[in-house]
Chain A
Amino acid sequence: MKKWNLVIDVAQCFNCNACAMACHDEYFGNEFPGYAAEMPRLGHRWIDIRQRETGRCPVVEVAYLPVTCNHCDDAPCVKAARDGAVAKRADGIVIIVPEKAKGQRQLVDACPYGAIWWNEEKALPQAWPFDAHLLDRGWTKTRGSQVCPTRAMRTLHVEDEEMQRIVREEGLQVLHPEYGTRPRVYYKNLDRWTKVFVAGSVAGVLDGVTECIEDARVVLERDGRALAEARTDPYGDFKFGGLEAGSGGYRVRIADERFAAKALDVALGESAYLGTIMLEPRAAPTRAAG
């Protein structure tokens, strides 16, 4: 049968919070028996956009990660619930049943993603119920999908096999697959959230003037083996992304026929911007020309 899935493109999220506001609009001041009790005016972020900056001025990257209930197929909250307080529906959606979940604070701690919020006033654990009350009435997408200006948040209603095909084709990932929770919320371009980069700006003196060096060949090496190659852009900039944070020693080799070759060693923790890298003139020719 067709089941519900959410796909979030991290590269397309720019923290506009339209999804978060639409979610607040849906649940603040409204009660949907069987689906959700009212969300508090302030303090809950059922769609919570987290931010990460990497690099340093003037070469930085900013990534935003909307985190919400993952509607896991093997949900820790279902296991932690008493009296059937958390229901896994046949269509994949996980519902914290407001009528049954009162006082079950352990559900908040059960979620490894921090996606369940504690409603102090109602003594109720709450999470985003995938707008199931709307989908059950014929809506085809969630409130967040509807308002997302970059289409970064897509609602997919497909068979599980079809979803797995999409996962493969688009290179989708889930948050913390090692938790074994099998989320139904997938992320595209999650590398922007998890990976780091090495970047630099190549310059050299031409005709007595310091210039950006365009089209220099830059090779990223590890243990003497080339991992990637790039050409500098008109500003002399290069960047190697998709590297593991804290992955240690790399060597960056820069070659431009007008200058002496250069190599820099980088111990990679977080992203590294190497700043302006001045190329030196080639060593004087060993014999006269001609």
Chain B
Amino acid sequence: MRAGAITFSLLLYGILKTLRHKARRHPHFARRLAERDFTAQIRTFDGAVARYYAFRAGSIESKRGLHPSPDITISVASAALGARLFTPWVDQLERIEAMKNFDFKADGPDELVVWFTQTLSMLRSLEWEYGTDIGDGTRRYVTNTNGGPLFVYVKDGKIVRLTPIEFGDDDAQPWTISARGKRFTPPRQTTAAPHTLCSKSTVYSPDRLLYPMKRVDFDPKGERNCQNRGISGYERISWDEALDIVASEIQRVKTEHGQGAIIANHGSHHTWGNIGYYISAAFKFFNTIGYTRVIHNPDSWEGWYWGAMHHFGYSMRLGQTETYSTVEDLLKEAEMVVFWSADPECTSGSYSAFEGTARRQWLRDLGIEIVHIDPYYNHTAALLGGKWFAPKPGTDTAMALAIAHVWITEGLYDQKFVAERSVGFEPWRDYVLGRGDGVPKTPEWQEPETGIPAKDVRALARRWGRKKTYLGAGGWGNGHGGACRSATGIQWARALACLLAMQGMGRPGVNYGHLQWGTPIDLHFYFPGYADGGMSGDLEGTGMPISLYQRMPQLPTFNPSTQKVPRLRIPEAILEGKTEGYPWNGKTIEGQFQKFSYPAAGHSPIRMFYKYGGASIGTMSETNRYVRAYRTDKLEFVVNQSIWFEGEAKFADVLLPACTQFERWDISEFGGTGGYALHGQTQMNHRIALMQHKCIEPLGESKSDWQIFLELSHRLGLGAYYSEGMTELDWVKRLFDASDLPKHISWKEFLKKGYFVVPAPAEHERDPVALRWFYEGRKKDVPEPHPLPGDYGKQFLEGLQTQSGKFEFECSSLKRFDPDDPERPPIVKYLPSWEGTQTKELYERYPLQMISPHSRFSYHTLSDGKQSAVNDIDEHRVCVNGYYYWVVRINAQDAAARGIRERDLVKLYNDRGAVVCAAHVTERLPRGVVHAYESSAVYDPVGEPGESVDRGGCINQLTPKRSIAAKVTGTAVNSCLIEIVPWDGSGELRTAAVAAAPVRAKAERAALPTS
């Protein structure tokens, strides 16, 4: 016998001894061994080395050689290979290679194969310890959420409390920035968003789906009653029945209709982690079954992606610039910060809890001037103070052009920078001065558009032109959210880009930001972000090819269908059978020009919808469309895999109950996004990699998303391919191994403690300031692997991604694409909103402009509804006569003119729908503007779904479906005209006039007297 054969043979014998030994030591493992009665054979292809294991009622009988009729067989090409693959420390790359080359195979039912291989892998993990015993039977675990990391205290299998993580003495010390004689250091703990702190109430919500369910009048073999979706009730069914229905429907539509018949779509941000999140497990599963992909629009970037990108590139950041070390630069150099459509104290940088809040306090310590431009006196303004400008929604571009006009006419801009680092300034300057159209874009010109007095704009322009100023645009400071999500979002983002270029972007004290991004943390420590694809194997739709694929070899996955549907056009695709769109593709600037059509050539129309989560009605636009699309037999089957019974989950035929992230394993980094938000960790004060312990067992019969996909895969013969034979925890360990964590902390310690704080770099090791290289005309020196090497015009790392390599006031890419597009001309111009104060006829009928920013207390629909604790926050929902209503904010004079008082129930309506909210009467809005957050989780039609008043608060029923511009696919939800009347209690979409007495709150708890 050769050495390999002896080793392999001994290893196979060792497996037997270890199985028996571990079963004696661990009763739960012994119970697992009793779950299946079957025989597994392991062998070389030629049978020279072989051993079988027969499981019978928990005992194992095993012999060398071949069994006559094994249930499953795992075979390897040679004994030498077997010896390497069955050692405890297997080389993942070799394992993957062997599987891809069919040198390492499994035959027999998938479910048994995976049970067996998972059982073998548990031999390693049985003794792993996790969590910290803190006495009295309480154990403290760790998890991470999209609103910050948590310590999770668990007693008797139940979550007791959730707290942020306070660092211990053994955790790394934070950075310190010295600026203007002061020293600034962040607190040594993490922060947590309200939508995270309320998690106990959502985990134990009465709205949890705890069992698989089937709509009572849905029969996959008979009457489907698709028209009753959203109306009929549900009955509990077994997991086997539910999974069998879903698996057989997948097979049926594929064989009956062909390629593309399944559409699958995930919501965003209802959970967190690198393994079990949508961009990992779900992508892998959907790729393996083949599906019509839903192309999400760059919904929080719109204007930057479709607009600003053409001026300066940064396609890989979707049109937002780099932000390295801007916190230090701002604190040291800036004299003023302009927050423009920016409310970081509301949206928390999306994933970064209150990490930026502590830093923004330092603005006051240093006496840095602050300006806010936002129709709403937002939370950042309310906290920090400063000068507030409230332009009418959608008109900000006019204000920006007037600022440029003052700078040009008074010489208040960086003329050297403009001459040396930009192209195309002259035609834009001429437009601003009115040389072509005879209309100089003066402060006086903008006044009737924006409602902002000319004198104020002039004063701002002069102040800005004379002071080193950071432009904090959107929630991240370099874009994101707000005015970019409107009919004029493209021109707004473009105009802001031009303003900052005029001031010399990258000059000390002149850059994008409001201390939200750009902390001096160590970005050279590798830990992947969630958008890097986890275990998806998806090289096309995630950030995996950059680093993770090399570091964590895994079976690749590719979607065989090339059919695509824009997320904003799913209803049209279903109901009309035809639609088109422009893609979210940040690889190059030109990626966004690649128009696509549905149906794709040779593909089937979509017949089955696999929906993952239930957020569409609260978060898309004109969302009664989605309700109607669900209620048609053009969709033969709808399955929704959801944690909670809410929103569009109530329109499914079969419901698969997923558990929360507190009930499953995962691993992640605080704010670690990766992908298009590379180095998003610089929103955090500390880099922290975290275990997501499985803190409690899944409630009811719910299962992790990962496990649900696995069990469906078993039924399709894809189980081994999907899981690679491993458990969720194995995948977590693989990701740990792929990161830089093992250089600093052992798996054993990391698993037990649950987190690792990455040491901050020494002051001299900090990254260079964003765009300084460009300002100074040097090669790029920040750690950003963008743009693609082929996108440099001259030398690698020289200049921007634009054709000229310079900032382009006149955009070459738009000239190439369509120089005559009135909505996106090569230079940015002011074009009034297609839904706003200038659309006369509509404005007469609906004289209120509604803006609907991202919600403050829920993350999209996560944590709203569900009887969660945030419902008791008056700013989020208000309880009127026992029902928790969504809140709309309305100017006091507008309210008085309509007979609306504080907390009255009011109906918001336009031609698209009607929603009931509770009124908050305020002076934080100018006349004519109303404010209601988007993202209600509750859709509660008072009459027929899709055709009646909703009292759940999904105000996106009112927002326009129209794309920002004809040649892009982007949402314009902040351009929305409505009317508001006191609600008469009726469910009718349209009531002619208000006759009945308004529904008013009963006497409330007496308010505290103010004096």
Contact = CB atoms under 8 A, between A and B. Distances in A.
Interface stretch (B198-206, B642-650, B774-782): B198-206
B357 interface: yes
B357 A149 contact: yes
A30 B1007 contact: no
A19 B922 CA distance: 25
Contacts of A212: 455-456, 458-459
Contact of A18 (B192, B387, B1008): B192
B515 interface: no
A234 B463 contact: yes
B49 to A, nearest CB: 56
Interface in A30-79: 30, 41-45, 49-53, 55-62, 65, 67
Contacts of B197: 18, 21-22, 25, 147
B261 interface: no
Contacts of B189: 146
Contact of B1005 (A22, A29, A114, A211): A114
A261 interface: no
A42 B962 CA distance: 39
Contact of A62 (B164, B382, B1006): B382
Contacts of A43: 872, 879
Given A143-B163, A203-B455, A28 B383 contact: no
A59 B377 CA distance: 9
B161 A25 contact: yes
Given A25-B161, A147-B164, A16 B354 contact: yes
Interface in A233-258: 233-237, 244-245
A150 B357 contact: yes
A30 B1006 CA distance: 29
B198 A193 contact: no
Contacts of B867: 41-42
B454 A194 contact: no
B550 interface: no
A60 B923 contact: yes
B382 A42 contact: no
Q: Chain A contact residues (Cβ within 8 angstroms of B): what range?
A: 35 or more
Nearest to A14: B383
A51 B887 CA distance: 15
B354 A25 contact: no
Contacts, number: 164
A14 B201 CA distance: 23
Contact of B923 (A24, A55, A244): A55
A35 to B, nearest CB: 14
B162 to A, nearest CB: 6
B729 interface: no
B857 interface: yes
Contacts of B453: 203, 210, 276
A233 B454 CA distance: 16
B456 A15 contact: no
Given A18-B192, A51-B874, A147-B192, A58 B926 contact: yes
B309 interface: no
Given A28-B200, A150-B357, A245-B1010, A235 B456 contact: yes
Nearest to B380: A14
Contacts of A62: 377, 382, 924
B1006 to A, nearest CB: 7
A227 B578 CA distance: 71
B370 to A, nearest CB: 12
A53 B922 contact: yes
B148 to A, nearest CB: 10
Q: Chain B contact residues (Cβ within 8 angstroms of A): what range?
A: 35 or more
B379 interface: yes
Contact of B354 (A149, A175, A236, A276): A149
A79 B869 CA distance: 32
Interface string B746-771: 00000000000000000000000000
Nearest to B160: A30
Contact of A24 (B166, B198, B925): B198
Contact of B924 (A24, A50, A53, A276): A53
Interface string B120-161: 000000000000000000000000000000000000001111
A57 B921 CA distance: 12
Contacts of A44: 872
A8 B857 CA distance: 22
Interface in A177-216: 193-194, 201, 203, 209-212, 214
B161 A26 contact: yes
Contact of B925 (A25, A57, A234): A57
A25 B198 contact: yes
B1006 A114 contact: yes
Interface string B442-463: 0000000000011110111011
Contacts of A21: 194, 197-198, 869-870
Contacts of B1008: 50, 65, 67, 113-114, 175
A212 B443 CA distance: 13
Given A50-B1007, A56-B923, A57-B390, A28 B869 contact: yes
A138 to B, nearest CB: 10
A16 B201 contact: no
Contact of B459 (A18, A29, A143, A235): A235
Contacts of B345: 14, 16
Given A25-B161, A28-B201, A58 B388 contact: yes
B458 A17 contact: no
Given A149-B357, A211-B455, 10 more contacts: A16-B354, A42-B871, A42-B872, A52-B1010, A56-B923, A62-B377, A147-B164, A203-B453, A209-B455, A234-B462
Q: 5 closest pairs, A vs B, by CB?
A: A149-B354, A21-B197, A14-B383, A62-B382, A212-B459
